[in-house]
Homo-oligomer: A and B are copies of this chain.
């Protein structure tokens, strides 16, 4: 089968690979219908993710059809149409029993990282019973690919951790796919204001379409002052960090209200400064989280009932054979205006 293979920093290729097979009784093999590329895949290609070694098939998102099943899988049948979670969860370990699937001792984020992933014609899924979700007939596959990772990530790491509430104020720093996923799902809780902050006017225009009540281009360095003015000097109740660099994290600390929460979603490569000399007495909460995908069943229900439309995040479409072009398009988002690219396998 064809697969997108990571061959060391800066190197990737579409290669012919053997078909994956069930290895453990709890595995399934899924024929991929649609997959996508994540910002994390770009991190791997920069050589920033040591757990991902050369030779690995990338990708941790996708929908498809089950073609092979281990004997221990009880919840699925061959032919079932399924959503693949980016997080594999055994359902048995202490972390899984506490709902913290991200830290499953034999799972977590392993697809396209420590085992072969979804940017291929077929993929082996460990712990299938607790890592796949059935899709209703006729569902929009493109919308559902967004539920493998970015919707639960924006929702759990940003909205839930950030404790968004009816009538509250929210700022989201970073209007990329994850920031927009947080924006879409923050509206489940009817906050009064959602301020979106980014450097790219195109992405801010998207944010307004997605429900942001105010947008701020932070290029001029006045974003914090603007937010404080908007909120009468109080700051916002929830700040969601969806970029992952020191400057954006520090901005969060400048605009959080007393009693507020900073929910970090961004993947950080270096340490950041935390201004405790100013924040120690402000009663703030700062959270970090690798998505657990505990909210996937709820997100499936709300997507299928039309409450949210994650397909809005899809800007470009490619065939698996053209995945290198898909990577180019996704990497050059400032020019191509790409958010999420769909790859049909």
Contact = CB atoms under 8 A, between A and B. Distances in A.
Interface of A: 25-26, 71-72, 74-75, 91-92, 94-100, 102-103, 109, 129-130, 165-167, 187-190, 192, 244, 249, 258-259, 264, 266-277, 279-290, 292, 294, 297-299, 301-302, 305, 307
A190 B192 contact: no
Contact of A130 (B91, B290, B301): B91
Given A91-B92, A98-B259, A267 B280 contact: yes
B264 A271 contact: no
Given A192-B301, A285-B285, 15 more contacts: A25-B71, A71-B72, A74-B92, A95-B259, A97-B99, A97-B294, A103-B283, A166-B302, A167-B297, A244-B280, A267-B281, A268-B276, A270-B276, A281-B288, A285-B287
A259 B189 contact: no
Nearest to A98: B259
Contact of A297 (B94, B267, B268, B276): B94
B192 A302 contact: yes
A236 to B, nearest CB: 14
B283 A290 contact: yes
Contacts of A286: 274, 285-287
Contacts of A305: 192
B277 A274 contact: no
A71 to B, nearest CB: 7
Given A103-B283, A287-B285, A305-B192, A92 B277 contact: no
B75 A92 contact: yes
A266 B281 CA distance: 9
A131 to B, nearest CB: 10
Contacts of A75: 92
Contacts of A102: 281, 283
A288 B294 contact: no
Given A71-B25, A98-B259, A166-B298, A276 B283 contact: no
A206 B151 CA distance: 34
B302 A190 contact: yes
A161 B209 CA distance: 33
A152 to B, nearest CB: 12
Given A72-B72, A74-B92, A166-B189, A272 B276 contact: yes
Question: Max chain B CB contacts within 10 Å: which of A97, A269, A299?
Answer: A97
Given A91-B92, A190-B188, A307-B190, A264 B280 contact: yes
Contact of A97 (B91, B165, B189): B91
Nearest to A268: B276
Contacts of A103: 258-259, 283
Contact of A273 (B25, B100, B274): B274
A158 to B, nearest CB: 13
A258 B287 CA distance: 12
Contacts of A267: 280-281
Nearest to A169: B301
A98 B295 CA distance: 11
25 contacts: A71-B72, A91-B91, A92-B129, A95-B259, A97-B99, A98-B259, A99-B99, A100-B258, A102-B281, A165-B298, A166-B188, A187-B190, A192-B301, A192-B302, A266-B280, A267-B280, A267-B281, A268-B276, A271-B273, A274-B286, A281-B290, A282-B288, A282-B290, A283-B290, A285-B285
